[in-house]
Chain A
Amino acid sequence: MKHVIIGAGPAGLNAAATLRQVDSGGVVTLLSGEATPPYAKMVLPYLLAGLMEEKNLYLPVPEGVNFRIGSKVTRINIKRQTIETDKGETVEYDKLLIATGGVPERPDIPGSDYPFVLTIRDLPDVQRIQKLVKRKKGHAVIAGAGPVSMETGDALHRLGMKITLVVTSNRLFSTMLDIEAAAVVEDHLRRQGVDILKGEDIVRIGSRGKVTLKSGAALNSNLVIFGKGVNPCVAFLADSGIAIRRGIAVNDRMETNISGIFAAGDAVETKDLIVGDQRVNALWPAAVEQGRIAALNMAGIEAYYEGSLSRNILRVFGLSIFVAGQGRADGPEVKVSSGSGFYHKMVLDRGVLNGFIFIGEVRHEGLYRDILQRQTDVGSFADSLLKGTFAYPRFQRRAMRI
C-alpha cells in the first residue's frame, strides 16, 4: 500500500507515525513544501521570544518514512491517483492525506509587501523579524488580536519593542472572549505599556514605516505584523474534484468526497462538538487527533472522529487565558466570578457546560476540557468548578452523583 501525505505539520507527522505503527508493510511518503525538516508552527512565537533555541525546533520524522522536503504539491490527479510537485515530480498513491494546514491572511493594501511587513507563517518569517529586531527595537504595530498575533506581540515586547495593537472589532480576542473578559486582558496589557486601538484597521503603509489607519490617524512603525486569521491552504485543490467549503469537507473518518483521499488538520472543517456545525477549528491537538484517525482509516482500520472542541490556552504578557467551547455566549445560564486580574466564566445549559473563559491562574485544565468535551452534568458542583482549580478526585466523586 502506497500512502502519501502532503504536509509535515502535526496532522501529517502524526499520521505518518500512526501508519508506520499499524501498516508496517506499507510505504509512507511525506511531502513538505518547506525547505527545512519538520517543526511545529505553533512554537514560532516562542522561538521569536527566545524561549526556545532553534536547534530544539525540529521534530523527528518517524522512522521508515520517505520524507521529501521542498516538495510543494501543485496538483492532484484523482483518476490516475497521482500528485505532481513544483519540482516536476509525479508520485503515485493508493491512499492520500491532505494536511497542508493554513496560511495567514495578508490584506491587499498599499505597502503590505514591504520587507518590514510580515505575517507569522513559517521559520523564515521569524528569522526575518529577528534580523529586524536586532538592528533596531523600535515600535511594532500588530494588526489583529488573535492568539498568534498576541503571542507574537508578547515576544516582541519581551525583546524590548513598543507594541501597538490595532483591532477592527470592539475588543481583543473577539473570537474567544466576551467584552468583560476582553476588558480584563486589555486592562492588563495597558498596564504593561501596550497601546490598544479598537475599531481600527490599517489602510496604508508607507515605505518608511508610517502606518495610516482607517480613522486617518497615523503611527510610525519599525515593524508591522498582520495576524488577522488563517485560511486553509487549499488553493492547489481547485479543479481537483475534492469538495471544499470553508475548508476541505470530510466525513467522520476524515475522508473527503473522493474515496481514498483523506484530509486532516487546519485545512479541514469538522464538526464542532459544542455548536454541532461544520467549521475549521485550526488547533494543534485537533490536528494531531485528526491525523491519527485519518491514518487508521487509510490503513483500513475503522476509526471515527467525534468532532473538535474549540479551545485555546495561552499566556500573553504574563496573563493566562484559557477558553473552550462557547465561552463567549451569554446563555442559557452563566456563572461568573471575577476580581482583580482574574475572570472566570462558565456557560451552562441544563447543568451541562457549553463553554468557559478563565483568565488568570487555573489548574487541571485538561480536566476542564474533558468535562466540557464529555458533556458531563456538572450542575451539582458548578460553583466549585468555577474556581478554576477543581481536582480530578473531587470530580470523580461528584461524577458518581453520590
Chain B
Amino acid sequence: MSKMLMIYPDRCTGCQNCTLACSVFHDGEFRPHTSRIQVTTWESEGFSMPTTCQQCEDAPCVAVCPTGAMHDDLTMNRVAWDEVKCIGCRMCTLACPFGAVVFETGRRRIIKCDLCDGKPECVTFCPAKALDYVEETDSARDRKKAVAVEFKKTFEEVK
C-alpha cells in the first residue's frame, strides 16, 4: 500500500524544523526560503500551519506540463518532477492553486515536495509529530480532510 504525508496543524509548535530539514536535505544548505514545506504562523492565535504539495490525483500541474517533466509517480504515490525534461515554463506553478509548486528563477528549477523518495526528512525532524508519513487508508484521508475544519475552528474561536 502506498503512503501519504499527514499534517496535524493542531500539534504544530511552529518551530520550522521541517523547513530546515527539507532545505538542507535537498540543497545541502540551510535556506528555508527554498524549503518544499512551508509553515505559516499566526502568533496571536498561537497557531501554525505547515503546507506542502498534496500530491494530488489528477494533479493540475501534471495536466499542464508541456514536456511531461511533471508526472505521476505511482510507485511512490507522488507527483514527481524530472529536472532533465523541465524547460522552466512555469505552467505548473500557474496551475497549482495552493502555490505548492514554486519556480526558483535563479537556478531555473521547480521546488516541490518529492517526499524525499519515501523517507521524508520533515517527518523525521518534526519534534511535535505534527507531520507523519502513513499508509494511505480511508481513515487517513478523512483525517486529512478534518485538518481544514480544525483550521477554521482555530480562527473562529478567536475574539
A positions within 8 Å CB-CB of B: 10, 14, 40, 42-43, 46, 51-52, 56-57, 59-60, 284-285, 288-289, 292, 311, 313-315, 320, 322, 361, 363-367, 369-370, 391-394, 396-397, 400, 402
Is B1 engaged at the interface, CB distance under 8 Å to the other chain? no
Q: Are A285 and B64 in contact (CB under 8 A)?
A: yes
Q: Are B101 and A366 in contact (CB under 8 A)?
A: yes
* Alpha-carbon separation in the docked complex, A393 to B90 (Å): 21
In the complex, what residues of B have CB within 8 A of residue A366's CB?
60, 93-99, 101
Q: Are A285 and B95 in contact (CB under 8 A)?
A: yes
Is B55 engaged at the interface, CB distance under 8 Å to the other chain? no
Is B134 engaged at the interface, CB distance under 8 Å to the other chain? no
* Alpha-carbon separation in the docked complex, A125 to B155 (Å): 56
| Number of B residues with CB within 8 Å of any CB on chain A | 35
- What are 28 residue pairs bridging A and B, where the CB atoms are less than 8 Å apart in the complex? A40-B67, A42-B66, A51-B87, A52-B67, A52-B85, A57-B67, A59-B66, A284-B66, A285-B64, A288-B63, A288-B64, A289-B63, A311-B94, A313-B91, A315-B105, A322-B94, A364-B93, A364-B99, A366-B60, A366-B93, A366-B96, A367-B97, A369-B94, A369-B95, A392-B51, A394-B40, A397-B42, A397-B155
In the complex, what residues of B have CB within 8 A of residue A284's CB?
64, 66, 91
In the complex, what residues of A have CB within 8 A of residue B95's CB?
285, 366, 369
Q: Are A361 and B99 in contact (CB under 8 A)?
A: no
Of B66, B67, B91, B102, the residue contacting A363 (CB under 8 A) is B102
Q: Are A285 and B91 in contact (CB under 8 A)?
A: yes
Of B38, B66, B102, the residue contacting A10 (CB under 8 A) is B66
* Alpha-carbon separation in the docked complex, A14 to B66 (Å): 11
B positions within 8 Å CB-CB of A: 38, 40, 42, 49, 51, 60, 63-64, 66-68, 84-85, 87-91, 93-102, 105, 108, 151-152, 155-156, 158
**Chain A residue with minimal CB distance to B69?**
A56
Q: Are A364 and B102 in contact (CB under 8 A)?
A: yes
Q: A365-B93, A365-B99, A400-B155 are in contact. Are A56 and B85 (CB under 8 A)?
A: yes
Beyond the given A393-B151, A400-B155, please list 6 additional residue pairs across the A-B interface where CB-CB is below 8 A: A42-B66, A59-B67, A285-B95, A365-B99, A392-B51, A392-B99
Question: Closest CB of chain A to B135's CB: distance in Å?
Answer: 26
* Alpha-carbon separation in the docked complex, A14 to B152 (Å): 37
* Alpha-carbon separation in the docked complex, A254 to B105 (Å): 36
Q: Are A59 and B99 in contact (CB under 8 A)?
A: no
Question: Closest CB of chain B to A167's CB: distance in Å?
Answer: 23
Q: Are B88 and A51 in contact (CB under 8 A)?
A: yes
Question: Closest CB of chain B to A355's CB: distance in Å?
Answer: 15
In the complex, what residues of A have CB within 8 A of residue B98's CB?
366-367, 392
Among A14, A56, A284, A366, max chain B CB count under 10 A is at: A366
Q: A366-B96, A366-B98 are in contact. Are A56 and B84 (CB under 8 A)?
A: yes
* Alpha-carbon separation in the docked complex, A391 to B91 (Å): 18
Q: A60-B68, A284-B91, A402-B155 are in contact. Are A320 and B105 (CB under 8 A)?
A: yes
* Alpha-carbon separation in the docked complex, A57 to B67 (Å): 7
Q: Are A56 and B67 in contact (CB under 8 A)?
A: yes
* Alpha-carbon separation in the docked complex, A22 to B67 (Å): 24
| A-B CB proximity, top 3 nearest | A364-B99, A40-B66, A370-B97
Q: Are A393 and B49 in contact (CB under 8 A)?
A: yes
Q: Are B63 and A14 in contact (CB under 8 A)?
A: yes
In the complex, what residues of B have CB within 8 A of residue A285's CB?
63-64, 91, 94-95
Question: Closest CB of chain B to A397's CB: distance in Å?
Answer: 6
